[in-house]
Chain A
Amino acid sequence: MKMKSLDELKKLREKAQETIRLREQEEGTKIVVGMGTCGIAAGAREVMLALVDELQKKNLKDVVVTQTGCAGLCEKEPLVDVIRPGEPKITYGYMTAEKARSMVTSHIVNGQVIGEYVIAREDSGD
């Protein structure tokens, strides 16, 4: 494909930026999935894959999914933390792939915490 104008370059750039966004963002929403042995046994990997897939489907750009080890509350695994800039950290428990998908729609897109799933709420301290 030969590029003929700056507009064509811009189109290609916007598409290409998707691939490297993960490396550039320092701020933005973080979703942390507990991935200790307890979390994995309770289905954390399915939860994480559902999250990644849902974010991708909804084209949510400023959200990253990371993982963490066991938080100590193995009983309530899979645990998912949502950290939005300037808001307290919300921890969801007993997550499933379906719950994760609806959480993305409700919490990440619309800013509505799903109280029913929440097990902890914590101010970041700053």
Chain B
Amino acid sequence: MEFFRSHVLVCSGVNCSFRGSRSVRAALVEEIRAQGLDKEVRVIETGCFGLCEAGPVMVIYPEAVHYCRVVPDDVKEIVEEHLRKGRIVDRLLYKGEAQVKGVQTWRQIDFYSRQKRVVLRNCGLIDPDSIDEYIAREGYEALGRALRMQPMEVIQAVKDSGLRGRGGAGFPTGLKWDFTARAAGDQKYLICNADEGEPGTFKDRLILEGDPHSVIEGMAIAAYAIGASKGFIYFRGEYKLSIDRLTHALEQARAYGLLGKNIFDSGFSFDIEIKVGAGAYVCGEETALINSMEGKRGEPRFKPPYPASVGLWGKPTCVNNVETLANIPSIIRQGADWFRSIGTAKCPGTKVFTLTGNINNAGLIEVPMGITLREVVYDIGGGIPHGRAFKMAQTGGTSGGCLPEALLDVPMDIDSLATAGSALGSGALMIMDDSHCIIDVVKCFLQFFRHESCGQCTPCREGTQRLYELVDKISRMEATEKDVELIRRLARTMEDASLCALGQTAPFPVLTTMRFFPEEYEAHIVHGMCPAGVCAAASQIA
């Protein structure tokens, strides 16, 4: 086996790729060869490190030196100085806003050291195209162990862990498995929901890109537990890199006999097929997703019956989110008690968030459930750039809520955020500074819902359109108090009468901002002005 004294890990996650990490990697391989170091130094493409804002990111081992914003022109210096002479290239090190000197290793950077990585444990550490590197990190051990247990024991282990779905609704995973396992029928299906459509969310994409085998292993364990021999991953069509990586990972798993017939000589057979969606937001809703897979219009079904009893092709089906499934191997390997030692009593474990907007360290993070919003924004996120003030954090994506500065100490878990009037949702976390107008932001969210409503039920189809028009009216300074009342009544109708979560949660951003930022609504409606100077009529005054 070849031995390399140094490993250079170049992020090939989608964000770093957009910033040119592919050409950095190509230049690096070329330069290392030119300097005759190719027998000593290995270059590895890896998944997302998380600090997307500073991308393209590169980490050099054994020193664990972390370089930011590397461009192809930097490569010669890195090879000449660092790899050949052992001198760290200071100018490429990470530097926080208040820091004068760069931080050398990734382990010393607050952004990383304050996280707790369970789902992302391999992201940025292994080569996602290598099943061997996944196995080196205890990969497929959990599957082997699960297959020695009874299916009901596996379900019990997941129930004991207290794991709740990470796709948004937070339903207890063990219970969902139990329902499907107990449902009558000889053919059952498992679906991994990778149709991540919430604006600002890209965690599932990066999990699949960075550690595809963790999802495959989680699926195989889930399938064994519920008695499914066939699984599907329903992808968002745009997730090309995720699809490529997963396709490759599936081939490797089959070659090792970790998918297919008689896995680990246990008699259990399971395989996974990829389905690609066409990019409709509503298809993230499990019954719409199932319809789409059956070749029908992507419209939600009436519930009940739930998919656990009548799902894909009318058979009992369990639909789990990518992040949920990626948690499973660690739970089986390390036990329910270990899992419960992380996070809160009602929401054990960690949560992966995508941190976006006006924040210094935008990117992908994983933290224990229950960490405060303040810690995420200031300690991990590095605060608001350009010395501006924090205005609000939108948690849970467009269907979540918008929290003001006064609620910065709210714990980030499913129940606490719901109590605070927002939602944890799928883990989108968008931070906005004081240059934004609340009305304008809400209008933008409603524009999204209006576009994405599938049109099947009237409260949603009409409601999203009318809600948009009413908020647009506020932004044009033409609304009156009556319109506010109308918004409230319309919101109630949509929440009560819409068929699925899309219509039920669409009024959320309006309602939470009316509650937390009443002064901005008043300014637009009563005084005819936009405090942030964003809305059209206000710009004329300014």
Contact = CB atoms under 8 A, between A and B. Distances in A.
Interface of A: 1-6, 9, 12-13, 15-20, 22-26, 30, 32-37, 40, 48-49, 52, 55-56, 64-69
Given A3-B257, A68-B86, A19 B1 contact: yes
Best-buried of B9, B136, B139, B265 by chain A (most CB within 10 Å): B136
Interface string B119-141: 00000011000001101111111
Given A9-B141, A68-B87, A52 B40 contact: yes
B256 A52 contact: no
Contact of B257 (A2, A30, A34): A2
A22 B136 CA distance: 12
A23 B137 CA distance: 11
Contacts of A12: 132, 135
The 6 closest A-B pairs by CB, nearest first: A67-B86, A2-B257, A16-B136, A64-B62, A16-B132, A6-B144
Interface string B327-367: 00000000000000000000000000000000000000000
Contacts of B255: 1-2
A23 B61 contact: yes
Given A22-B61, A69-B85, A9 B135 contact: yes
Given A3-B257, A12-B132, A13-B136, A52 B3 contact: yes
B114 interface: no
Range of interface residues on B (Cβ < 8 Å): 35 or more
B84 interface: yes
Contacts of B63: 66
A102 B84 CA distance: 24
Contacts of A55: 3
Given A2-B256, A3-B257, A3-B258, A13 B86 contact: no
A36 B257 CA distance: 50
B10 to A, nearest CB: 13
Nearest to B82: A67
Contacts of A66: 62-63, 86
Given A6-B145, A12-B132, A17-B136, A22 B85 contact: no
Nearest to B263: A3
A21 to B, nearest CB: 8
Interface string B1-43: 1011111010000000000000000000000000000001000
Contacts of A16: 132-133, 135-136
Contacts of B87: 35, 68-69
Contacts of A13: 135-136, 138-139, 141
B5 A65 contact: yes
Contact of B264 (A1, A5, A35, A56): A5
